[in-house]
Amino acid sequence: MRIDLLLNKLCLTRTRSIAKTACDKGLVGINGKTAKASSEVKAGDLIHFQLYGFDHEIRVEKVPAGNVAKKDAATYYTLLSRAEIES
């Protein structure tokens, strides 16, 4: 699954276009490398992104096949760290 779709389906971004823009600006990385919006994500990948004033790092536990209910979204990933970005 594409990284911009994954971030949106797991309710980590408000819209897919926000996820795509973040990728275009270099704010999203997969396994330590900067990710394009079309980069593929697999189970076990480490995703790092800077959005909404926070620096997040998550590990993908499983990739969803379709749409995900908001209450079930957290079962697809593990939040490793979340730190406020200092200005």
Indicate the average pLDDT of the chain: 93
CATH of 3-84, one of 3.90.180.10, 2.40.30.160, 3.10.290.10, 3.80.10.10: 3.10.290.10
Q: What is the pLDDT of residue 69?
A: 93
Measure Cα distances from 52 to 11, 14, 21, 45 in Å. Answer: 13, 10, 13, 22
Q: Is the pLDDT of residue 56 over 80?
A: yes
Kindly indicate the confidence band of residue 86, based on its pLDDT and cuts at 50, 70 and 90.
confident
CA atoms within 13 A on the CB side of 27: 19
Q: Cα angle vertex 23, ends 15, 5, to 5°?
A: 45
DSSP 33: E
| Distance, CA of 74 to CA of 87 (rounded, Å) | 29
The full set of domain ranges for the chain reads 3-84
Q: Is the pLDDT of residue 87 over 80?
A: no
